Amino acid sequence: MTPKYYTEFVSQFKTKPAVNQVEANPFFQQKELRQVMAKDGVVLEAYFLLGHGNPTLLTNPTILALAEKYGKNAGQIILRFENQEGFVVLPKSTNPVRIAGNIDIFDFKLTENAMTVLRTLDTGKGSHDPETPGLGKRLMAAYKIHD
């Protein structure tokens, strides 16, 4: 879902969605899409919220410095940032230590300065661009969706 697609399609819906699940993390904060959705009161639910294990995100010096400052790990800083930004965050893990850490993000709050610094990490690019030229045609050819 991109701002273009949201505006083009969702604006026609009689009933607006309450939540829109899209890729979002500190490197891809979906700022423009969130502004468009906010007009309809739609909340962003993040997937790939920890960058889908992206080592560049999880070892980012800014995030690691904040983790040290707050006595947390990189994932907890990222989840807390997303939570404070208003994202619905539902992290997935099968690792008991990570599960416990993912829950343990409510005993601290990032300062506004920390939030501002984390907002600067946004590259505006995700792992997939649904507006890639020719993508729709390739998908239509790959899947039988019409008789």
Domain boundaries, given as residue ranges, for the chain: 3-142
Instruction: Select 3-142's CATH number: 1.10.340.30, 3.30.470.10, 3.20.20.100, 1.10.260.40.
Output: 3.20.20.100
pLDDT, one tens digit per residue, over 92-138 is 889 899 899 999 999 999 999 999 999 999 999 887 766 667 766 77
Please tell me the distance from the alpha carbon of residue 76 to that of residue 101, in angstroms, as a whole number: 7
Q: What is the pTM of this model?
A: 0.86
Please tell me the distance from the alpha carbon of residue 58 to that of residue 64, in angstroms, as a whole number: 8
Q: Which of 87, 101, 96, 97 is nearest to 48 (CA)?
A: 87
